[in-house]
Amino acid sequence: MATTERKKWRRRSRESSMFGSEKAPNPFPISRSRLERFHICPRCFWIDRVLGIDRPGMPAWMLNTLVDTLLKREFDTHREAKTPHPYMSQNGLGNMVPLNHPMMDEWRQNFKGVRAAKHGLLITGAVDDIWKSGEGETEEWYVVDYKSTATNAEITPELFLEDIYKGGYVRQMIIYQWMLRELGHPVSTRGFFVYENGNNAADSLLEGGPEDSPRGIPLKPALVIEIDTSDESVVIEGERIDYDWVENLVIGAKACLDMDAPPGSGEFCEHCAYVDAMSKI
């Protein structure tokens, strides 16, 4: 698909996507990414959801998306066979298999995803995967997120609690856990990040792929990082990230939307700081 026309930024025009309009659905849908925006900057969140003025967009990371797509295909093969993926077995998780559930395809689709109504909002979000262990009364589900990067840094569970951007991944995971629990599913507080990391030490793209695609991205051995959100040490930027945190986030987002005027901006919001600086010129 080619982009052949340069489009100007414009305000959102669909009333159904603006909170408080006559055509807005009830409960009003808020995506997981918009909840994260509220966490970072209530002002940007309110202006976007109430006035329909979103931040300028940016291109998608297509190579990252490709890695996600290929991982989903691999795990789907084991989902159908009801067998653990090698990444599970190699990391002591051979007792788990990818969840085979009639809603999995929908839960993984953007603009559909998992949907949980609470506190006057419909929280939505598309998971990458869910693994399961046990059967019947012992059945337990584990939220899984695929990540791809190219870094020389050592990726560890501790890094997720120190790095502000990876801390956002932990918030993402617990919101998915919370949503699935609200739907009554047996979701564990344990979750997993499957990390594909590009090998910066490689001299060139790899050879030996299929005939129609003989070269590929050199990758280091995959990492499976476990985070247990019930652990008291899961603190991101001074905040204990647990299910109470998600509840309060949803309550706060609804209270923000109900405001008659935009609230103050987030302390570290670059967008508001940029607009403020431009307005003084």
- Whether the per-residue pLDDT at 45 is higher than 80: the answer is yes
Domain with 76, as residue range(s), is 62-102+125-239
Nearest to 50 by CA among 62, 58, 39, 42: 42
Calpha distance 160→162 (Å, rounded): 6
CB 99 within 8 A of CB 79: yes
Cα dist from 259 to 45, 244, 253, 262, 267, whole Å: 12, 23, 10, 7, 19
Lowest average pLDDT, out of 4-18, 26-40, 72-86, goes to 4-18
- Residue 91 belongs to some domain of the structure: yes
Tokens of 258: 């109900």
- Residue 195 belongs to some domain of the structure: yes
- Residue 45 belongs to some domain of the structure: no
- Residue 229 belongs to some domain of the structure: yes
- Residue 246 belongs to some domain of the structure: no
- Residue 179 belongs to some domain of the structure: yes
Give me the percent of the chain exceeding a pLDDT of 70.
Answer: 100
- pLDDT, residue 150, reads 86
Residue-wise pLDDT tens digits, 89-136 = 999 999 999 999 999 999 999 889 999 999 999 999 999 999 999 999
- Residue 204 belongs to some domain of the structure: yes
How many domains is the chain built from? Answer: 1
Q: Rounded to the nearest 10 degrees, how much is the dihedral formed by the CA atoms of 197, 200, 203, 205?
A: 40
- Residue 73 belongs to some domain of the structure: yes
Under the banding of pLDDT at 50, 70 and 90, the label for residue 1 is: low
Rounded to the nearest angstrom, the gap between the alpha carbon of residue 273 and the centroid of all alpha carbons in its chain is: 25
What b-and-e string marks burial along 98-119, b requiring 16 or more CB atoms within 10 Å of the CB?
A: bbeeeebeebbeeeebbbbbbe
Residue-wise pLDDT tens digits, 215-227 = 888 888 899 999 9
